Structure 1
């Protein structure tokens, strides 16, 4: 059961403790529409390696049938009921466990360091000011608009040895608070302030205590930054009178440079990434067996495809999936597809998939592969996207040789096992996008900004040249020294910038 607020989560927990079934509470109060439609049941297992620490701590101490308390997560709160459990071979997960332990230690050390610096510099919260900030955020979420009065800006939130941190300064330093989304709980607001405002403030205090601000390289960098800001201010003054780029100018440039706005070629795949080559080959075998048993699904998809583009009629045809009898030995993916049809959003996604698929058979096989990704893939972000990725050539850093193979393969092809770092990937090619020209409406805004910047560059260049001419007699170029410096730099070769 997922809720965005602690209050709603507490209501759900109270209903469970009063004897209401988990499924009914999930349907009534869970704010995840996909799992709520299934009574909260998730289509995959949670593993220690891909669960956040609060979830892991709450979940893996429960026996089958037990219900957790309210578990805080980045986007809200969750309540879990354990339906089943199974063991995974250590060899398959030790790499992810090692990474998780490293991250845990890093977080623990960061928290300990924050506590130490808080004590050392006397960091203290102002409860009244924090209450005002939380109230402003809650009201803004309800009304769709955030308002800070002049008095609000000056309210103290924290104080330490260096002085008072006011609400206005905190908002200026925190991008998350300026956006305001999901910050209707005081604990989350404090956590955001800690990460984005207080930790940098305390680290800066320690740096000054150690006199790092007097370090020659830091002084040089600071001076350089100051000069850059001054030049930026001069540029703004010099270009302030430049007129805005018109719609006609943007359109003319777009029409004259269409090739610049051509999309790169991409290939769409469903990928499953596992720990060993042996496991990958076992999944290929499972897929080969399952594809022989998807005729009922293919039949329903084919009937729905005949009724497109009438989405209403096609949607009604898809509901036949819910009445298909469950057969012994049928692929588990069929049950997953049935559950998608039961949800409006899931049915809509099925219709979109059907409209782009090359055939009902190919779409049925794609769903088999998506289910394998949900159940088995070790790529952390794979489950929410059901293993679906659009690959570009620049994705080789993440997907390795899989990218080249996918770009060269035919639609419907199976790829792998392909080794990607220490893991092994399988993929099914499900789509390809050509190099179409992006529509004008899509590029007009960034293009206008770029043309405006170019116009300002030209204006600043003219202004700088006029400034040089006006002060030509006041500046003397020592040509011999400049040539000597150039010779020294060329002889030394590439060098890093030094603070001197």
Structure 2
């Protein structure tokens, strides 16, 4: 394939050479940052401890709450408390959460993250004195007042790791910016404003074609030059056009995405972090990989399938489109049973389950709007949750159910009993499967053609090949 790629001249195309250059610079940039910049970043344990204390990660607080439907009701509660009625009595009279109401509003100990999931802002968790009642707080579609009656130390180990990573990331960003400023001076950087104006105007007019072929210098430094065309190759990878249409926005993006990597890569060479032979070997391997990928795309991009062929493939291979019985459920995972009961009551009283998603412990809950898909194959992962969901009736609110990691409240939105998917719902999948088969077949035929064409100059030593390949390939 390499011989064929060279024969077609793919190795000298702008696409291949540009990809080799950009990937090499990325490698050199990473090398420079990891070898020169990153070792300068130190995270002080005192700074970590300071943030633990400032953000309230070092303690848990016993939370008491009175939850009601409306602002008018919470104002009535606040008035009663101001007139001397005890918090416990007002909770028993008014709170929607029957379980905590019976305990005078007590919900148990929570950390700052659990408090935020219960609609208690972090600043209230940190600053509200023991025994003092908060101002009325919004709780989704409901309202509540809260107080804390006891504090106890918490294990901040998890927070310590998170804060260390946060401080390291901040320190690394600052170190990179400082290093870039030093390199600007060291390499006598010059930015050519005529080229900058060309880029800004092109994005303002929403016509960037002229940038693709412009060799006008945008930056020059230490004998290096970054052209408009080279910058556009990077910008085409997803930079926001509206920002690039403004001068200051374009400068910021170009500095971060174009200039900084170029200077770091150049500095890696200047500092002899990689010798010439190693760099050339790296580029050779990259060039071969990119050349092979380009040649494969050329051969497989010509393959297409018709809608008739897709339908025939679906009819001939029904086993490819069978699915198990499964359910789509709206589900929230809460930290404690009392919190789960409170959420359950909120939903019973009319709150939208999806609007409570910020309280869920599941990492992808907000991205999925609390909707999750479960099937029997996941019983090993969720041994209590999946059987309960598969047994539940559509639309019925279930829970709290104790599961791994907390307490679940869920409602089945849709149940699919399984079987062969109808063609309309899997047409794209069928097309992708058939197209992949055709492309693999075309690539195989192409390789055989190359073997036949170059049989006189290519010798395959089967015994050496057998030793080189892993057992699963053989």
TM category, shorter? 0.5 to 0.7
* Aligned mate of 2:338, from 268, 278, 282: 282
State the aligned residue count.
336
- Higher RCO by CA contacts (8 Å cutoff, separation 6 or greater): 2
CA distance in 1: counterparts of 2:248 and 2:323, whole angstroms: 44
Secondary structure of the residue aligned to 2:171 is helix
Equivalence for 1:461: 444
Equivalence for 1:168: 229
Q: Return 5+ residue gaps in structure 2 as ranges.
A: 1-111, 129-133, 136-144
* Aligned mate of 1:227, from 282, 288, 291: 288
Cα distance change, pair 133–258 in 1 and its aligned pair in 2 (3 A): farther
Max radius of gyration: which structure? 2
Q: Does 1:428 align with 2:413?
A: no
CA distance in 1: counterparts of 2:338 and 2:113, whole angstroms: 23
Q: Does 1:248 align with 2:314?
A: no
Q: Does 1:261 align with 2:297?
A: no
* Aligned mate of 2:170, from 107, 129, 135: 107
Secondary structure of the residue aligned to 1:428 is strand
CA distance in 2: counterparts of 1:272 and 1:239, whole angstroms: 45
User: Is this contact kept in 1: 2:329–2:372, CA < 8 A?
Assistant: yes
CA RMSD of aligned residues (A): 5.3
What is the TM-score of this pair, normalised by structure 1? Answer: 0.50
CA distance in 1: counterparts of 2:401 and 2:320, whole angstroms: 35
User: Is this contact kept in 2: 1:134–1:184, CA < 8 A?
Assistant: yes
CA distance in 1: counterparts of 2:356 and 2:202, whole angstroms: 45
CA distance in 2: counterparts of 1:440 and 1:425, whole angstroms: 39
CA distance in 2: counterparts of 1:152 and 1:478, whole angstroms: 46
What is the TM-score of this pair, normalised by structure 2? Answer: 0.52
Q: Does 1:418 align with 2:474?
A: no
Q: Does 1:148 align with 2:209?
A: yes
CA distance in 2: counterparts of 1:102 and 1:90, whole angstroms: 23
Comparing 253-262 with 152-161, greater Cα deviation is found at 152-161
Secondary structure of the residue aligned to 2:286 is helix
1:202-254 per-residue CA deviation (whole Å, 9 max, x = no partner) reads 443243335455487776554333233333455466668x6642222222112
Superposition deviation, residue 109 in structure 1: 1.0
Cα distance change, pair 247–125 in 1 and its aligned pair in 2 (3 A): same
CA distance in 2: counterparts of 1:126 and 1:271, whole angstroms: 56
CA distance in 1: counterparts of 2:432 and 2:161, whole angstroms: 46
CA distance in 1: counterparts of 2:443 and 2:191, whole angstroms: 47
User: Is this contact kept in 1: 2:211–2:228, CA < 8 A?
Assistant: no
1:99-157 per-residue CA deviation (whole Å, 9 max, x = no partner) reads 245224213313312430442254555555445544544554xxxxx543258844544
User: Is this contact kept in 1: 2:389–2:412, CA < 8 A?
Assistant: no
Comparing 456-465 with 387-396, greater Cα deviation is found at 387-396
Secondary structure of the residue aligned to 1:149 is helix
Flag the structure with higher helix content. 1
Flag the structure with higher strand content. 2
